[in-house]
Amino acid sequence: MKKLLSIFVSLIVLLTLVACTTTLAADVVDFSLSQEKVTTITVWLDDSEGLFMADLIPAFNAVYPNIEVQFQHMGALDSRDRLKTYGVSGNGADVFMFPHDHLSLAILEDLVYPLPNELFQSLNTKILDVAMDIATAGTRNTTNPVLYAVPISIESIFIMYNKTLISEEEVANLTSWNDIIDYSATFAAANPGKQLLTTNSHWADNYYIQTIYSAFGWRPHGIDGIDASAVGFESQALTSALTWLTTELKPVVTGNNSYNSVATSYFEQGSAAMIIIGPWAIKSFEERLGADNLGAMAMPTFDGVEGATYTPSTFAGSQMVAVYKYSQNKEAAIAFVQFLATEEAQQILYRTSNDCPALLDLSGITSTSGTNITDDKYMKVMIAQLQTSIPMPTISAVTYYWAAAETMVKNIWDQNADIQTEQKKAEASYLASKALGS
């Protein structure tokens, strides 16, 4: 009897608790979310002031609340070397950043984890073609495309000018290289001691003068930039480009046997009216010269230049973010790099870093004042320039191209060396360096 009474009392208590559930719900603490596993990833990005990541991490955590991001500033040029010291230990970063021309080396050094094909398919329709060409290391249009990194920004060189030395009306008339060459004497007469045009680097830097090579129909490593067997230095097209460079452009930009154009100092000091530059210099130039005093224009055409019948194409560069091959948190790391390609993340990038997002559709990217990126005077020019840009070579052998090409141009420019002889020497130098590196 006592046993039956005990069971009956227990049932009454149970039913009472169930009946009271709705009234007690507000006071019950649900611990289920706190029990979910939190994954911590280390992210190395080149964000010295931390402005980008300060806004990005909360936005990322709104979508992925159980992935904790530990950010460490790391120079884009330093991340590869740092990761190599960790080897296969899985330490270091889960996600790291590097520039376009480091991709082939990162792959060669076994640092990059190939991203899922689903992510490639998704980004292939939303990221600029030239950026995807770089991120896939030339495999994009093959039967087995591989996405090695997510391109988060895109850039090209263009020209900035100082309105206190050259007016917008004068610039509007300088659409071709022939225009610039013809105008140089007029400018020199009106501005003693001043220079019409300089460059961010020097006139033997083949990153900047690729636009000249391309106008004559030449690019390194073959038609698609993926032929590692040779650079193609001995091409007649390159001969024509180098001849024009040193006989027509050289007298205008240096006027002497020195390839060195003193880089940015002439422009920053107000001694040069125009400079070939990229978006990385915008902020510092505005601080030094005043934003209202600066303008931007696309690289000149080669209209009227004999032999230059091809579309001049600058090299497109891109900042890449990859998953470290030996990361122990690959799933969370992939989620992070995938988020970087969203419009929300790209919006944060533009507003905090003034970098141009790599998205095809930029209609939703605006400044903090609400101005669309396509109305930005610099970005408008660069985005137009990118429409004809070609990707930087991503094959590992390109490492041996730069030094051989620079020496070739220096000797022709400074010493008036025979062009075809220097071309042959450059090809031999490339092949020797490549063999030694192998």
Spatial contact of 136 and 147, defined as CB atoms under 8 Å apart: yes
Q: Give, in order, the Cα–Cα distances in Å from 105 to each of 90, 154, 310, 331, 373.
A: 19, 19, 31, 24, 32
Residue-averaged pLDDT of the chain: 89
Q: Is the dihedral of CA 237, 242, 245, 251 positive or negative?
A: negative
Q: What is the pLDDT of residue 118?
A: 97
- Write the CB contacts of 134 (distance below 8 Å, at least 6 apart in sequence): 100, 103, 151, 316, 318, 320, 391, 392, 394
Q: Which residues pair with 276 in a beta bridge?
A: 159, 199
- Residue 16 clears pLDDT 90, i.e. is over it: no
Q: Give, in order, the Cα–Cα distances in Å from 286 to each of 279, 294, 375, 378.
A: 12, 7, 17, 12
- Residue 143 clears pLDDT 90, i.e. is over it: yes
What kind and span of H or E run contains 152?
Answer: strand 150-155
Distance CA 116, CA 60 (A): 20
Residue 24, Cβ density class (10 Å: 0-12 exposed, 13-18 middle, ≥19 buried): exposed
Encode 143-155: b = buried (16+ Cβ within 10 Å), e = exposed. Answer: eebbbbbbbbbbb
- Residue 40 clears pLDDT 90, i.e. is over it: yes
Spatial contact of 255 and 227, defined as CB atoms under 8 Å apart: no
Angle (CA) 354 358 138, round 5°: 135
- Name the band, by pLDDT with cuts 50, 70 and 90, for residue 438: low
- Residue 30 clears pLDDT 70, i.e. is over it: no
Distance CA 429, CA 411 (A): 14
Quick one: which of 394, 388, 319, 323 has its CA closest to 358?
319
Distance CA 68, CA 139 (A): 33
More confidently predicted of 368 and 156? 156
Residue 406, Cα to own-chain centre: how many angstroms? 22
- The single residue listed with the structure tokens 């002497």 is 256
CA-based radius of gyration for the chain: 28
What would the mean pLDDT of 18-39 be, rounded to a whole number? 52
pLDDT in tens, 68-119: 999 999 998 889 888 888 767 767 899 999 998 888 889 888 999 999 999 9
Q: How many CB atoms lie within 10 A of CB 142?
A: 9
Distance CA 426, CA 409 (A): 10
Residue 286 one-letter amino acid: E
pLDDT in tens, 112-142: 999 999 999 999 999 999 999 999 988 898 9
- Write the CB contacts of 255 (distance below 8 Å, at least 6 apart in sequence): none
- Residue 388 clears pLDDT 90, i.e. is over it: yes
More confidently predicted of 320 and 226? 320
- Residue 35 clears pLDDT 70, i.e. is over it: no
Domains, the chain: 39-155+316-391 (3.40.190.10), 158-313+396-437 (3.40.190.10)
Q: Give, in order, the Cα–Cα distances in Å from 358 to each of 54, 123, 135, 316, 320.
A: 21, 10, 11, 11, 10
Q: How many CB atoms lie within 10 A of CB 407?
A: 15
Max intra-chain CA distance, the chain? 119
Spatial contact of 203 and 246, defined as CB atoms under 8 Å apart: no
Range scoring the smallest mean pLDDT among 258-262, 292-296, 389-393, 434-438? 258-262
